[in-house]
Amino acid sequence: MSNGKVLFICSGNTCRSPLAEVLGRARLGAAGIRCESAGLDACDGCGATAESREQAAERGLDLERHRSRAVDALSLDGVGWVIGMTVDHVRRFRNGRPDYAGHVGLLGLPGVDLAVGGDPFAGEQVDDPYRRGTVTAYEAMAEQVERLVAAWAPRLLGGETT
């Protein structure tokens, strides 16, 4: 999938998907894969949460300039994969963008194209730390997102789907 684009989605585009974006960019950018993020319920222009910025910084990454974007406002031209954090994100994206012809996946189900079938409940979901509001919740989310982005990397680099 080199020279393609991956769009990570979550609810507000301030916690999970921005972190997935910068982690993906760090792993995949050298291969020409562009990583972006957006939210299904996002208000355009909000910064990443302080906790997500801190988790990114602990990994040598920068979310200071991140600004949230709504999925509905985006063009999906060139997007090869849309990857949601939860089954609900995947469902809502597919219902809202039935014209999207690319791959749709769940971060916790690496390489599985749910646009052509598969059980989304077979994978992990990335819970929203914002609702729990604790540093521990953000640490757990960041570790999970980092691990799952790493699991996606070979599939995105090699173009494997199941």
Q: What domains appear along the chain, each with residue ranges and CATH number?
A: 5-158 (3.40.50.2300)
**C-alpha dihedral over 72, 77, 79, 85, to 10 degrees?**
0
The pLDDT value recorded for residue 130 is: 87
Query: What secondary structure letter does DSSP report for 108?
Result: B
Q: What gap in Å lies between CA 140 and CA 159, rounded to an integer?
A: 29
Q: What gap in Å lies between CA 8 and CA 159, rounded to an integer?
A: 17
- Cβ pair 15, 130 in contact under 8 A: yes
> Could you tell me the mean pLDDT of each successive run of 10 residues in the chain, 162 residues long?
85 98 97 97 96 97 98 94 98 95 96 94 94 87 98 89 64
Q: What gap in Å lies between CA 91 and CA 159, rounded to an integer?
A: 23
Q: What angle do CA 130, 124, 138 make, to 5 degrees?
A: 25
Q: What gap in Å lies between CA 2 and CA 61, rounded to an integer?
A: 22
Residue 67's Cβ-side half-sphere holds a number of Cα atoms within 13 Å equal to 3
The pLDDT value recorded for residue 3 is: 62
The pLDDT value recorded for residue 21 is: 98
The pLDDT value recorded for residue 158 is: 87
- Cβ pair 68, 12 in contact under 8 A: yes
Strands 103-106 and 5-10: what pairing?
Answer: unpaired
